[in-house]
Chains A and B, each alone.
Chain A
Amino acid sequence: MFPSDLKPEQFNGYPPEARKLVSAYVGVLRGLPLSVLPSLLREAIEYDFKFPAERRALEKELANLDSLSAEQLRDWLQGFAQLHLSAQLEHSDWINAPAQFVEQLSSYLWTTHQLDAFRNAALAYADRLRQVVPPEKPPAPRVGITIIGQGVITNGVPLFRKLRPHGAYFRAVKPENGLQLLLNVVAERAKAHPVPYGHWYIDGGRAAPCDPALTCVSYHELEPVRAVLSGKIRSQIERPGMGPENLRTVLAQLRPEDLGLPTKDGDAVLDRFQVKMLTEGSGTQIFSTTFAQWTAREAISRDQPLRLLVRFAPRQRQKPMNEMLSAGHEVAELDPLGSLIDADMGAYYNWLNLQRLQGAEQSSFLVWFEDHSEAVAIGPSLPRGTESTTAVALDQLLSWAS
């Protein structure tokens, strides 16, 4: 089937809001090349479960495509139109399973040496779209906070090496009550700018009490969901012919109800987000540091939050092979020092991902070694690549950075 054959009733399997959205644009969708349309449908089919910023971006993108003349549309998408697709791809159910189509398309483009051409077409389209539909400016400067090193008593590894050149390194931070001070600041600012899903607290372990003004995700709270998921993964792996790609496809189809996730205050959007972190993330099911980093990445890129506090916690220790061969089913040990190294890199990625958002030049960022005196603060008013031995409380440091 080709895009030119599309009919509104073919979207009857979509969730209600998605169906309404896509049906309104069937006319323009018929003019899109098959090499790009399923990518758009992959986003559209999730519309009911998207964050407000994502919804607005998708609506604007479709409206922009709809506003183009046939000739302009061809010009915008000519890079995609020049790609050659297989008959197998053309005959697949790309309307109802666009994500699976995109996976297969990626593999096909790779094997047919068309990946560069696809990538160039995608970059050209994204650049052009950004010119016409620029990303939204934040209503207030963004603030990112990352707390690393929970449970580490002594550390011989130099921290923040990738972040220090971008801000000021403080050696004499007052650690007392640091987590609560930072949570209070984030909650206060959330109340000053009450934007839905605008303010996040992600904890890689057991979360501190969470202010209702914040969107909270905790690895510990998801433990029952992770247990159900692990059982499903085990049973899938035991099936004949099940490989990593097949497993990935199966996991991507799981929904919150499949994993026994109790709807959190009726928040279907957050439930879906959390399940995706576990089913589409790689390593998020096993390592809490990966979960915290990946969840932050996805929250940043999808939701574009105003405030984001990420606290890493110790992940389980990776057992060497000899221990795995000999051991029984004892409780997993933790690896605080390895987790510190993971989180140090994770903090850098959090900053890097926040830098990609609109208004980055006004944003501020703080990374703190929990219960210790080291921190780096980055912000428009702080000098780069400097060090300070001034004794300072964390909330004060954050106000300097902002």
Chain B
Amino acid sequence: MLKVSIDDFKAHARTLSSPDELSVYIVRQLMRQLAPSLLWITMHDIDIAHAGTYSLYIEGIRRTDRLCADVWKTIQSEPEYAGKTTLFILPDFGRDSDDDAGGNGFQHHRTGDALSRTTWMMALGAGVREGVVFDRPMESTDLVPTLGSMLGFSAPLAQGKPIQELL
């Protein structure tokens, strides 16, 4: 599907520093070869936080930040996507608060406190107003129905609601 030989794929993997970089490489290939309407990328490098090493966690954050920018730049450079693509970026969890004795700072999201379950989402690109912050509480489960509204598919099993600010 990627139109890359196994040898070329392996050779390229040997030039990359992390699995997320390989994921973004695959994303670029898919965008160029197949130009799908919806691409869902899950990045895992930041999960090194669960190993408790703060320096590697910071490295993971910086790498992921750079890779998100790379994906955005790729969108802008591909004629199939430029000017007509919306990018959503969101963490899957928050982190335990330093103030919660049940947690261990940045390492996990286990305590069930508000910080571990509250996070953010960035939306940019086609149809999104720039420089606007929406503070009202939203659920991460709102994402799929929002995508459904934008792309024209229904999500009858989704528990969330379309985010009106993005439609």
Contacts and interface: CB of A to CB of B under 8 A. Distances in A.
Given A294-B104, A322-B13, A345-B54, 20 more contacts: A110-B112, A119-B113, A282-B108, A284-B52, A293-B104, A318-B48, A318-B53, A318-B56, A321-B22, A322-B17, A325-B10, A325-B13, A337-B55, A341-B54, A341-B55, A341-B58, A342-B52, A342-B53, A342-B55, A345-B106
Nearest to B114: A116
Interface string B131-164: 0000000000000000000000000000000000
Contact of B51 (A118, A119, A282, A325): A282
Given A321-B18, A322-B14, A325-B14, A349 B104 contact: yes
B50 interface: yes
A304 interface: no
B108 A321 contact: no
Interface of B: 10, 13-19, 21-22, 48, 50-56, 58, 98, 101, 104-108, 112-113
A17 to B, nearest CB: 26
A283 B52 contact: yes
B112 A115 contact: yes
A320 interface: yes
Interface in A230-289: 281-284, 286-287, 289
B105 A283 contact: no
B53 A290 contact: yes
Contacts of A334: none
9 contacts: A282-B107, A287-B51, A290-B53, A315-B53, A318-B53, A321-B13, A326-B14, A341-B54, A349-B104
A128 interface: no
Contact of A321 (B19, B48, B51, B104): B19
A283 B13 contact: no
Contacts of B53: 283, 287, 289-290, 315, 318, 338, 342
A143 to B, nearest CB: 20
A301 interface: yes
Given A322-B14, A325-B14, A349 B55 contact: no
A51 B48 CA distance: 31
B136 to A, nearest CB: 19
A297 B102 CA distance: 11
Interface in A183-222: none
A339 interface: yes
A120 B93 CA distance: 20
Contacts of A341: 54-55, 58
A282 B50 contact: yes
Nearest to B98: A352
B52 A293 contact: yes
A338 B54 CA distance: 8
A31 to B, nearest CB: 26
Contacts of A284: 52
Contacts of B108: 282
B71 to A, nearest CB: 18
B104 A297 contact: yes
A338 B14 contact: no
Given A115-B112, A297-B104, A321-B22, A289 B14 contact: no
Contacts of A115: 112
A342 B52 CA distance: 8
Contacts of B14: 322, 325-326
Which are the 10 A-B pairs with shortest beta-carbon distances?
A: A283-B51, A290-B52, A341-B55, A320-B17, A338-B55, A345-B54, A283-B52, A115-B112, A322-B14, A342-B54
A119 B87 CA distance: 35
A290 B16 CA distance: 26
Contacts of A84: none
Interface in A293-338: 293-294, 297, 301, 315, 318, 320-322, 325-326, 335, 337-338
